[in-house]
Amino acid sequence: MAASGVSANSEWRDATGDPAQQIAVHGRYSDLIVIRQPDPDVQSGLATELADDVVLQARRLILVTPCTQRETEIRKRIMIAWNGSREAARAVADAMPLLKGAASVDAQSANPDGIGDEPGADIGHFLARHGIIVEVSHTLTDDISIGNELLNKAAGRNKDMLEMVGYGHSQFRETVLGGATRHILRHMTGPTLLSH
């Protein structure tokens, strides 16, 4: 841990049982849970559902790193996927320590509806009160999914990390992760920070 620049206040835990449940339980006593994106070439249920299950159970910040990257370095360019919801506001508040240390922050809305006359203005003002300079933008898309639009915007702006809420509004497991979140967990090209 010290070689990776992580505080010496760390520990190793060994647990047995359902992996997602164990990660979630032990992760509740940590500042950040880091897991790897499931490999899309591996078709086991465990590999494809682990990230989803941890996001739903942990109730902590979760950093999902792409399976295609051997090493992940989070530098200082972060994009927020913003939809104006209570859950998105909570995700931004949870990520505040990382946002305060960022060199650049963008708040991006795709197909914003019902979040004010100027989508993203409210979150821009909120972050500015915390000393964070944020660029706010929104886009309308009919031909590609919102998940694709967010990934394209993050890549086009050379963002190191995408921050977003980890679920939608339904209480049923099959639909609790929003379509954009589920798409990004399957197709991410950079680290993604989720809050549930």
- Does pLDDT of 9 surpass 80? no
Q: Which of 168, 162, 82 is nearest to 123 (CA)?
A: 82
Q: Which residues pair with 79 in a beta bridge?
A: 106, 162
For the segment 3-14, the average pLDDT, to the nearest whole number, is: 72
Which CATH number covers residue 160?
A: 3.40.50.620
Is residue 104 domain-shared with residue 183, that is, in the same domain?
yes
pLDDT, tens digit (0-9, with 9 covering 90-100), for 31-65: 888 888 877 676 555 545 677 778 778 878 888 88
Is residue 90 domain-shared with residue 38, that is, in the same domain?
no
Give me the number of domains the chain comprises: 2
Range(s) of the domain holding residue 6: 2-65
Is residue 138 domain-shared with residue 43, that is, in the same domain?
no
- Does pLDDT of 132 surpass 90? yes
For the segment 65-94, the average pLDDT, to the nearest whole number, is: 79
pLDDT for the residue 171: 44
d(CA 108, CA 112): 9
Q: How big is the CA angle at 21 (ends 20 and 27), to the nearest 5 degrees?
A: 85
In a domain, 177, yes or no: yes
H or E element, residue 25: helix 19-27
Tell me the pLDDT band of 131, cut-offs 50, 70 and 90: very high
d(CA 20, CA 108): 30
Strand 77-81 vs strand 62-65: parallel, antiparallel, or unpaired? unpaired
H or E element, residue 35: strand 33-36
